[in-house]
Amino acid sequence: MGELKNCPSCGEFFNYTGMREVCNNCAVNEEKLFEVVYRFLRKRENRAATVERIVEVTGVEESLLHKWVRKNRLQPALFPNLGYPCDNCGKITNTGKLCKNCVEDLQSGLRQFDAAQEFREKVAKQESGTYHSDSRKK
């Protein structure tokens, strides 16, 4: 069973079933635009076109191009200058949600966190095994 949602493109209500994010009319329009872009990119001289050039020639919104690349409808292996913005910094990437630099920064931060956690556990273990004597005489 679907859920009633507003189409993010046109604002109309539609029955959202998880299959697509837009209403049927907008989905048909997006498909027509995809065909225009794909016809443009199929030509050998246009395969290395940038996102900006594709937008200029076809009139398709940049966000739609990003969506199609993210969903692998337009594959960067075939069209090397296509990508979509990194969810963290906005730099263009073509794999995953984060660019290579953000992934490396995240991994570095996790390694530092793990090392600090190990150190804290080691210190806590040493403190729990130490006996303190009261050297004061009564």
Domain-embedded: residue 100: yes
User: For 41-97, what is each residue's pLDDT tens digit?
Assistant: 999 999 889 889 999 999 999 999 999 998 889 888 888 888 899 999 999 888 889
User: For 92-137, what is each residue's pLDDT tens digit?
Assistant: 888 889 999 999 999 999 999 999 998 888 888 887 765 555 556 5
Which range marks the domain in which residue 55 is found? 1-84
Q: Identify whether residues 80 and 109 lie together within a single domain.
A: no
Domain-embedded: residue 134: no
CB contact at 8 A, 25 and 12: yes
How far apart are the C-alpha atoms of 24 and 61, rounded to whole Å?
19
* Length of the chain as a residue count: 138
Q: Identify whether residues 56 and 80 lie together within a single domain.
A: yes
- How far does CA 27 lie from the centroid of its chain? 22
